[in-house]
């Protein structure tokens, strides 16, 4: 049984992430966001379902498609938007941009433009937890393409032999840029790799936020109780190309239609109505308030200054 309050929280996060992503796509097309922007649309249930099971002392590491993880971990929309617009008020003073947001105050050790780059960082965080004898858990969000990098195997092996409290979440959206998973591996069910390292592993429907939450809760409890790492594969699909400028013509239309019929935001909305008893009016009120918060965040980011040349040089000199 889920309380209405919990389901409202879950839906608020799903809708906030979707709104953030859609507005950022728009800002990118207006030339307001420089570099790349990799939307998380279609994958929201994974960040939300997993992070709903985490506490204040837990850590996450994230991917190049990481805004959803940051928001699900409690990031402030103003500072997120400012970061993407390269402004001084952003989480990393605008120096991280879309792919490198970090917020240590919420245990977010950072998004990462290097595919697979967050895996060893998360394993390191779990090692720290373990050496200090703490109760925390580290969650590594990573992607199907990253599992073919050597670092994935090395990290899983270390996590296993050191029995670390780490949940490795592979967001399997079936593509690495335009390469379908069937062309990059003979084991498209990525969770099947875990047992080779002695790691408990399973696969879950990544579009169903409650299924993700329930499975993640179990896995997190397992990590906390000292029974070592868990590998969770969440199968999903992105709702467009690899980044904003990629039309994604290589993605089969029938598959896209299937996954759109399982849109994680609509699934979460349905749960809030059916299991939480929320009315259409209540939900619309919630959606309107999220849209307004995002509008305010855009205004905040647009009006924020960039670092001055001197401020920038002072930071660069430290490294
Ligand atoms: C180590 C490394 N190799 C290659 C790239 C270029 N690159 C950026 S995203 C990407 C594909 C990533 O696919 P996947 O890991 O499945 O993540 P998804 O984009 O599907 O979320 C590649 C190859 C990179 N950033 N880092």
pLDDT value, residue 187 = 94
Given the CA of residue 242, which atom of ligand 1 is nearest to it?
A: 19
Q: Please state, in angstroms and as integers, the Cα–Cα distance from residue 195 to each residue in 47, 165, 231, following that order.
A: 24, 16, 9
Whether 95 contacts 47, CB under 8 Å: no
Percent of the chain with pLDDT over 90: 99
Q: Which contacts qualify for 88-94: CB closer than 8 Å, 24 or more apart?
A: 88/304, 88/305, 88/306, 88/307, 88/311, 89/300, 89/301, 89/304, 89/305, 90/301, 90/304, 93/307, 93/311, 93/315, 94/306, 94/307
- Residue 19: the pLDDT is 98
Q: Assign 66 to helix, strand or coil.
A: coil
6-35 pLDDT tens trace: 999 999 999 999 999 999 999 999 999 999
Please report how the helices 4-29 and 209-224 are oriented relative to each other, as an axis angle in degrees rounded to 10: 110
CA-nearest residue, atom 3 of ligand 1: 115
List CB contacts of 40: < 8 A, sequence separation 6 or more: 17, 21, 47, 65, 66, 67, 68, 238
What confidence score (pLDDT) does residue 319 get?
81
Distance from the alpha carbon of residue 271 to the mean position of ligand 1, in angstroms? 33
pLDDT digits (tens, 9 = 90+) for 188-235: 999 999 999 999 999 999 999 999 999 999 999 999 999 999 999 999
What is the whole-number distance in angstroms between the Cα of residue 152 and the centre of ligand 1? Answer: 13
pLDDT recorded at residue 318: 87
* Residue 86 CA to ligand 1 centre (angstroms): 22
Rounded distance between C-alpha atoms, residue 223 and residue 34, angstroms: 39
**pLDDT confidence of residue 75:** 97
- pLDDT 10s digits, 30-75: 999 999 999 999 999 999 999 999 999 999 999 999 999 999 999 9
Q: What is the mean predicted confidence (pLDDT) over 292-319?
A: 96
List pLDDT tens digits, range 153-191. Answer: 999 999 999 999 999 999 999 999 999 999 999 999 999
**Distance (Å, whole) CA 51 – CA 57:** 12
How far apart CA 10 and CA 14 sit, in angstroms, is 6
In DSSP terms, 168 is beta-bridged to 140, 231
Share of the chain above pLDDT 70, in %: 100
pLDDT, averaged across the chain: 97
Four-CA torsion 76, 37, 47, 167, nearest 10 degrees: -110
Burial 182-210 (b: 16+ CB within 10 A, else e): eeeeeebebbebbeebebbbebbbbbbbb
> CB under 8 Å to 195, separation ≥6 — which residues?
201
* Confidence at 5, pLDDT banded by 50, 70, 90: very high
Residues with CB under 6 A from ligand 1: 63-65, 113-116, 143-146, 173, 175-177, 242
pLDDT band at 144 (very low <50, low <70, confident <90, very high): very high
d(CA 273, CA 282): 10
């Amino acid at each position: 049984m889920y309380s209405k309050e919990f389901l409202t929280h879950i839906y608020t996060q799903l809708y906030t992430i979707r709104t953030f992503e859609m507005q950022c796509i728009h800002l990118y097309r207006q030339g307001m966001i420089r570099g790349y922007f990799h939307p998380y649309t279609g994958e929201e249930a994974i960040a939300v379902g997993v992070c709903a099971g985490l506490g204040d002392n837990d850590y996450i590491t994230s991917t190049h498609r990481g805004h959803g993880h940051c928001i699900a971990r409690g990031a402030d929309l103003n500072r997120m938007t400012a970061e993407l617009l390269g402004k001084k008020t952003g989480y990393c003073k605008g120096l991280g941009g879309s792919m490198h947001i970090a917020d240590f105050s919420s245990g977010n050790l950072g998004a990462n433009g290097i595919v697979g780059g967050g895996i060893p960082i998360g394993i390191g965080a779990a090692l720290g937890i373990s050496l200090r004898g703490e109760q925390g858990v580290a969650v590594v969000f990573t992607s199907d393409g990253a599992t073919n990098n050597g670092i994935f195997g090395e990290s899983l092996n270390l996590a296993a032999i050191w029995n670390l409290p780490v949940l490795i979440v592979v967001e399997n959206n079936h593509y690495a840029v335009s390469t379908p998973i069937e062309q990059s591996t003979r084991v498209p069910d990525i969770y099947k790799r875990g047992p080779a390292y002695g790691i408990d592993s399973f696969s879950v429907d990544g579009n169903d936020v409650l299924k993700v939450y329930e499975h993640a809760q179990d896995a997190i409890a397992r990590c906390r109780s000292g029974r070592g790492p868990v590998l969770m594969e969440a199968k999903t699909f992105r709702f467009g190309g690899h980044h904003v400028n990629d039309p994604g013509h290589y993605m089969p239309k029938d598959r896209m239609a299937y996954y759109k019929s399982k849109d994680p935001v609509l699934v979460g909305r349905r749960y809030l109505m059916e299991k939480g008893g929320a009315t259409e009016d209540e939900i619309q009120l919630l959606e309107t308030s999220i849209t307004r918060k995002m509008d305010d965040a855009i205004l905040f980011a647009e009006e924020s200054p960039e670092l001055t040349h001197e401020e920038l040089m002072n930071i660069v000199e430290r490294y």
